[in-house]
């Protein structure tokens, strides 16, 4: 038995909703752009490039309004329905029962799981035209299934509050944080000069170490790279972290990017070669608006011993961003200390339970948020600004997104 789904607070008038398979999503979706990393991960090309990789049944709910000569697409809600299996989704970053284990509810009480929004990127937001969030809420309500748990994962605080405005009863759960480096300097040299002394020393040490080793850095289009080499490095990194290591899935992911003109145009690959010309590290990133998004990192841990990891993850992308007028680098989830030590700042991410599991109460919300705030404070505390630390302490006291 499941808890009831939450209905939107505001009724949408003159909005028609239809449901199609992800492969059949209309090109009008491309006319609903969002800024930054959530916008990239919410795009039609990205969703279609990652179709059928997570084991979910994937569809899209579309919200239309009447327009001269036809209908206008106002909102899109991607839907991923996982089979009724306590182990699905397999990715722990996408499984509400694992993300919110502090609630103490068994995994069998959560399923089947339905996720709304992106499931490949860990950053999502309502996808709608300006002023059309009510249409989005109508489509979202239609997307929520009759049974199981339905959730929107990894929302930044403005997006979480936008969801809350339309589904005020849906619990908002602190989930993680992404690390974002905002570039305010006029040049890369000025950026390094403005860093606090410890971070500046670390940056100079890492770049000098790479130069002394004779390693070289290059930036290429994905079409000019040897995909097999990238997959080999990716597998080494996945195995190092006990993560999924299916080479066929990685090959499929690269091929789909290569076959998508928009994704291929956005992709950049940062490469590190040792003094012998051997590829030892790579970083696949994407450009969206003024943001460079870190996506995949692959590293040969036995040969890349001179700082190549941070060279391809931070320093080469940083220089590239300044050279091409980009203003932000999004490093994604986890590895907080590595990213914050190099100038990034945390952006808290929340999830909305649009249909909680049976037995969910406000006490579960508070317990989950208090536990996660404490975990994030422990993971990031030494690298937080005073206001960032106080924000987490406040959540730890109240258990709520609002004070």
Residue ranges of domains in the chain: 16-178+346-398, 184-326
The Cβ of residue 232 has, within 10 Å, a number of other Cβ atoms equal to 16
On the 0-12 / 13-18 / 19+ scale of CB atoms within 10 A, 233 is: buried
Buried b (16+ CB within 10 A) or exposed e, 31-40: ebebebbbbb
pLDDT digits (tens, 9 = 90+) for 199-250: 888 888 888 888 888 889 999 999 999 999 999 999 999 888 887 778 998 9
Tell me: pLDDT of 372 over 70.
yes
162 vs 149: CA distance, rounded Å: 20
CATH class as words, domain 16-178+346-398: alpha beta
3: pLDDT confidence band, cut at 50, 70 and 90?
A: low
360: pLDDT confidence band, cut at 50, 70 and 90?
A: very high
174 vs 176: CA distance, rounded Å: 6
- Helices (H), ranges, 95-196: 96-99, 133-143, 157-166, 188-194
135 vs 128: CA distance, rounded Å: 8
Stretch among 11-20, 29-38, 56-65 having the lowest mean pLDDT = 11-20
Residue 304's pLDDT is 79
Residue 12's pLDDT is 66
Stretch among 6-10, 185-189, 293-297 having the lowest mean pLDDT = 6-10
Tell me: pLDDT of 90 over 90.
no
288 vs 169: CA distance, rounded Å: 33
Please choose, from the candidates 403, 353, 368, the residue with its C-alpha nearest in 3D space to the C-alpha of residue 170.
353
Q: In this structure, are residues 199 and 342 in contact, taking their beta carbons and an 8 Å threshold?
A: yes
For the chain, the average pLDDT equals 92
Residue 169's pLDDT is 95
Q: What CA–CA distances, in Å, run from 347 to 156, 330, 399?
A: 7, 10, 18
Place of tokens 């190099």: 342
5-24: average pLDDT: 80
- Full-model pTM: 0.92
Q: Which pair of tokens denotes residue 296?
A: 């995949």
Contact partners, residue 137, CB within 8 Å, separation at least 6? 8, 9, 10, 12, 166, 167
Count CA atoms within 13 Å of residue 271 on its CB side.
Answer: 18
Q: In this structure, are residues 339 and 294 in contact, taking their beta carbons and an 8 Å threshold?
A: no
Contact partners, residue 103, CB within 8 Å, separation at least 6? 360, 364, 367, 368
Place of tokens 């994937």: 58
177 vs 146: CA distance, rounded Å: 30
379: pLDDT confidence band, cut at 50, 70 and 90?
A: very high
Tell me: pLDDT of 81 over 80.
yes
Residue 255's pLDDT is 96
Pick 352 or 311 by higher pLDDT: 352
3-state secondary structure of 297: strand
Rg (CA), the chain: 22
Tell me: pLDDT of 6 over 70.
no
Superfamily the domain 184-326 falls into:
Gcn5-related N-acetyltransferase (GNAT) (3.40.630.30)
Q: Which pair of tokens denotes residue 70?
A: 């036809």
In CATH terms, are 16-178+346-398 and 184-326 the same topology?
Answer: yes
Tell me: pLDDT of 2 over 90.
no
Q: Which of 11-15, 235-239, 325-329 has the highest mean pLDDT?
A: 325-329
Residue 265's pLDDT is 97
| C-alpha of 97 from chain center | 19
Residue 209's pLDDT is 84
Residue 254's pLDDT is 95
Q: Which pair of tokens denotes residue 94?
A: 């996408």
Stretch among 54-68, 304-318, 352-366 having the lowest mean pLDDT = 304-318
341: pLDDT confidence band, cut at 50, 70 and 90?
A: confident
7: pLDDT confidence band, cut at 50, 70 and 90?
A: low
Pick 241 or 81 by higher pLDDT: 81
330 vs 325: CA distance, rounded Å: 15
- For a pLDDT cut of 70, what percent of the chain falls above it? 97
């Amino acid at each position: 038995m499941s808890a009831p789904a939450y209905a939107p607070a505001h009724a949408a008038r003159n909005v028609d909703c239809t449901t199609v398979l992800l492969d059949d999503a209309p090109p009008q979706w491309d006319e609903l752009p969002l800024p930054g990393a959530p916008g990239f991960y919410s795009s039609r090309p990205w969703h279609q490039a990652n179709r059928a990789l997570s084991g979910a049944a994937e569809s899209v709910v579309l919200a239309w309004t009447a327009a001269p000569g036809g209908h206008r697409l106002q909102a899109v809600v991607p839907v991923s329905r996982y089979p009724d299996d306590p182990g699905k989704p397999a990715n722990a970053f996408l499984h509400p029962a694992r993300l919110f284990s502090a609630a103490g509810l068994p995994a069998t009480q959560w399923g089947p799981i339905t996720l709304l929004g992106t499931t490949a990127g860990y950053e999502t937001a309502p996808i709608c035209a300006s002023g059309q969030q009510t249409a989005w809420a109508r489509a979202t309500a239609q997307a929520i299934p009759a049974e199981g748990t339905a959730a929107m994962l990894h929302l930044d605080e403005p997006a979480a509050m936008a969801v809350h405005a339309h589904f005020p009863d849906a619990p908002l759960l602190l989930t993680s944080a992404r690390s974002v480096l905002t570039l305010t300097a006029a040049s890369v040299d000025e950026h390094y000069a403005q860093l606090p002394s410890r971070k500046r020393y670390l940056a100079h040490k890492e770049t000098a170490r790479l130069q002394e080793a004779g390693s070289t850095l290059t930036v290429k289009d994905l079409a000019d790279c040897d995909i097999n080499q990238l997959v080999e490095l990716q597998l080494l990194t996945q195995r190092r972290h006990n993560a999924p290591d299916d080479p066929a899935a990685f090959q499929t992911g690269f091929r789909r990017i290569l076959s998508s003109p928009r994704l291929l145009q956005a992709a950049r690959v940062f490469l590190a070669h040792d003094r012998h010309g051997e590829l030892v590290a790579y970083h696949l990133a994407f450009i969206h608006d003024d943001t460079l998004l870190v996506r995949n990192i692959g590293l040969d841990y036995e040969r890349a011993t001179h700082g190549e990891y941070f060279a391809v993850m931070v320093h080469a992308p940083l220089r590239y961003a300044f050279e091409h007028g980009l203003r932000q680098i999004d490093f994604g989830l986890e590895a907080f200390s590595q990213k914050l030590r190099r100038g990034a700042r945390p952006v808290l991410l929340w999830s909305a339970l649009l249909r909680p599991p049976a037995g969910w109460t406000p006490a579960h919300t508070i317990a989950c948020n208090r536990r996660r705030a404490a975990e994030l404070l422990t993971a990031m505390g030494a690298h937080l600004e005073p206001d960032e630390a106080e924000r987490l302490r406040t959540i730890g006291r109240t258990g709520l997104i609002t004070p």
